[in-house]
Structures are given as C-alpha cells and as structure tokens.
Structure 1
Amino acid sequence: MARVRPMTGDDVAPAQEVWDEAFTTMRSSYGLPAAVGAGSAERTRQRIRHLLTTDAGGSWVAEDDDGKVMGLAQALVRDDLWVLSLLGVATRGQDRGTGKALLDAALGYGREVANGLILCSRDPRAARRYVRAGFHLNPSVSAWGTVDRRRLPAAPGVRPGTPDDHDFVAELDRSLRHGAHGPDLDHLLTEGCRLWVLEGRGYALARGAKPVFMAAEDEEAARDLLWACLAQARSDDVVEVSWMTAHQQWAADVALDAGLELHPAGPVMTRDMPVPCLYLPSGAYG
C-alpha cells in the first residue's frame, strides 16, 4: 500500500509527470484523441501549484516504497461546492488501492460541503470508485473536430468580458452550481483564457475556441455564447466541447450544427445536486 500524505511545493513537478502519464495513457487506451488544447507541462504545473495555494487541505500525493510520487489527488471547495480536480495514479501504482486511498483523502477535505461534482474519465475503475463514494452517474458525450465556419451564425450582444463582469459571473455560478469560481477564474484569465459576456444573461470562459466553462440564464443565451466561442476557431483548428449530458441537448445541437462529431465520454458525477442544464463544466475546476 502506498503512503498518502499532504502535497508540498516540492511535489509539483513529479505530480505533473504522474498526471500527464496517467491522463495520456487513459485517453489512448480508450481510443480518444490527444487532449485538445491541453497545453504544456508548465500549464499543468501551474494548475497544480494554484490549487496547492488555494486548497492545500485538498492536495495529496501517494509515495511508493522509495519515496517517489506515484499518485496525486486535488480537491477544491468553492462556497457550497466540492470538486475533484485531479486524481491520477502512475501505471506502476494502479490496482493496489492507491486511487481509493487518494480519493478518501480528498473527500475528507470540505467534508461538511454537501454538493459535489466530479468530471470522470472513461476508466471503469474510476466510475466505480466514485459511485461507491456516493456520487450519481450522468452519462456524457464530447464533441470534437474542425468548425465549419460557413455555418457560423451571428452572436448578437456577445462581447469581451472585463473585471466589472466578475460579480455577475460569480452570482450566476452560485445560482447554477452552488459556488463561484473565484480564484480559479482569475488564474485562468492570467493563463490567457478569454471571458465572453452576454449582458445580464450569461458568460463563457474560453481558451481559444474551446469553452473551459460557461453558464447562462436561458437556452438562447447559452447557444449564442457557445457559438461565440466556436467562432474563434481558425479553419484548421481542432476544437473540443466537453461534458455534455442529456441535460445539455442545446450544446450538442450547437456542436453538431458547427460540424463537430459526438463521441462517448466519461460521466458527469454529482452528489446532492442535479446537473446544471445551462452550465458546461470544466474538468479541472468543475
């Protein structure tokens, strides 16, 4: 059994290597394409470092007998929402109870928070683990491909966001997902993501043409915001729209209209909350 302990700053680099190995292996084993826009190893390190700063109590690593990191888990708490951001185990540490031990440690952080969200991989071991931990399974699909720019409609009223919009974004997040993104929004904007706003009706945070997360007051606004994201794609860009359940039919319709293909993805796992219909989550930040 691996030894699970709190993560420290010295663990960031080896944890990133473990995560990249686990994530890449998982996607290739299920015939998924390389993660679109996943970014560099440095971006992954920044993500781990960011959550270690904001949620040290939810950041854990597993060590092997030689003291080398072979697994990590990071959970975050934002208002009344708990999110599992990362859970990865190196190949050499799998099927030894390491993943369960890391999940148990992460679940202990924010134990008093009822609402929970996990964006699960297609690994059946992960899905089983989360269901056993009390999460409800909601099947999802992802869409990817190149955007057919001939099909792009106008997205009237969608404009670049400013810091003055952050209070609106936080209010909408709390109404739909029980928690504002808070420091995660600031971190992602610093990384180069862009905020799009439809006045008083919704917003989308995007990295290039890929929505990172987005929320809206009504379905028409949600569609317009997703189209605004996809409109940023160049003709040869491969774009991905992730975590669409049956509750987000509007997003699947837009993706298909844009020329993207739908593919099975891992489930959206929820605890004590429904899937927000007018929200597309981030795998990293919920």
Structure 2
Amino acid sequence: MIVLTVASPKGGVGKTSVTANLAAALAARGRRVVAVDLDPQNALRLHMGVPPTEISGTSRSTLAGEPWGRLMFQAPHGVRLLPFGELNDQDMQRFEVYLEEHPEWLAEHLRTLGLAADDIVLIDTPPGHSPYLRQALAVAHRVLIVLLADAASYATIPQISRLVDTHCAQRREFQGSHLLVNQVDTARHLARDVLNAMRAAYGPRILGTIHSDQAVSEALAYDQTVFDYAPHSVAALDFNHCADKLLNLLAPPSLLRSFLGQTSGA
C-alpha cells in the first residue's frame, strides 16, 4: 500500500474536503483508494454518502476489540472509507490514551486489510499536533500539508515541516512532504502575494493549488464530492491536476513492496 497522510498546521483550511476530493480523483484514475478518517470530527463520511446517523468506526471498534474488516463503506465514486466513528468524551479520552500506549496501532490494522502494493491509503487527520497525526505520520510514505494562501498558514510551514521531519525523515520508505494551497482567491491581492511568497520559498514542494470555488461547499451540502456535483468546475479541474501530479511522484510498487517487506521484518 502507498500511504498518504493529509495534515494541516491549523484548522479551517478545508483539509477534509481536500482529502475526499483528492481520493475521488485518484479513484477515477483507476487506482484502488481507501480513505481513513483519523479526525475525531468524523466528517469525512459526509463527503462520501455515509448516513449522518451511522456511528460505527475505527475508534469504537478499537475500544471494543473488534477487527476493521466490517467497517469499510463503499462510496459511490469508488473510494472505500474507514470512518472514525462517534465517541462520547470519556471514550475519547480512553481512545487517545490507547493510541499513546500503542504507537503501532494504525500500522498493525492497515496490514490486516489485505491491500495491494499499489493501493492508495489517504489518511485525514485533525489540525495540529495530536496522537492521531503521530499515528498517521508513522506510516506515511508522503505527507500532504494543506494550507491557505494567508499569512497565518505561511507562518506555520516551518513548524509543521519540522514535525513531519521528526516523525518521518528517519524512515527509509518516506518519500517527502508536499504543500497543497486550498481555497485560493486570486482576486485578493494578499492571497496572490502570499502564494507568490510560498512559491519563492517552497516552490518544488508545492503539489498544487485549489481555487476558491462555491461548488466544493455546495457538493458537501448534498453529501457529494465536487466531481459528483460539478465535474467541470474550476475546483474539479484543480483536484484532477493535483491527482495527476501526485501519481507521477509516487514510487513504483516494486520499490514500495521492498520497503514494506523490510518494515514488516524489522
């Protein structure tokens, strides 16, 4: 499997929408994609047609000692989803303690899914540093850092980059991190200035930009991705471009197989 962890240094950047739509774009290119929601907001399911009343997920199954095999939901656009699930405050605290005590939790469960070497796993994480992000970084082959074209996002890039390096750089299978700038409004002078500054400082690391497009939020209102709701929208074109660029960056499956074999045997 190829694991892509989606992270953000702060909230409000549209990270979950990026995860859902990028997963759909990759699936449309014939790749088998599993989206894993590690954000306690449990919002990824809302993009993928899972009923809002559904409370099952990896968190609840973990606390109950149940396997993940029966948790998989099939989204209409071909992506399979493992939702986070709904927990009360007490169970959430128990779960977070469990994650701290079991750093191999996510890696072990992903290995039980029987995924092929070139299957893609996209992991949505909560903003900032958390036990969920640490679990996702521990298995990541690449990290996608979602930002806005604003001064606050720009200022956080060194911090989130250091965090990724701390948890990923020493692993031989890690291939690098990328910046994805979301909700870009090119009509705003400040957005253009910040985007230019990002390109000047981090140009090779920028995977792409997603233009601000009302179709993305409207699609969510209908429990859809932007490809279901407005396949010819500007945002849909942007996500397709990012998916193409990402697939060109991914290592050949044979290389990943060798890395995974070394990791499993370690």
Output the TM-score relative to the length of structure 2.
Answer: 0.31
Q: Indicate the structure with greater strand content.
A: 1
By relative contact order (CA 8 Å, sep 6+), the higher-ranking structure is 2
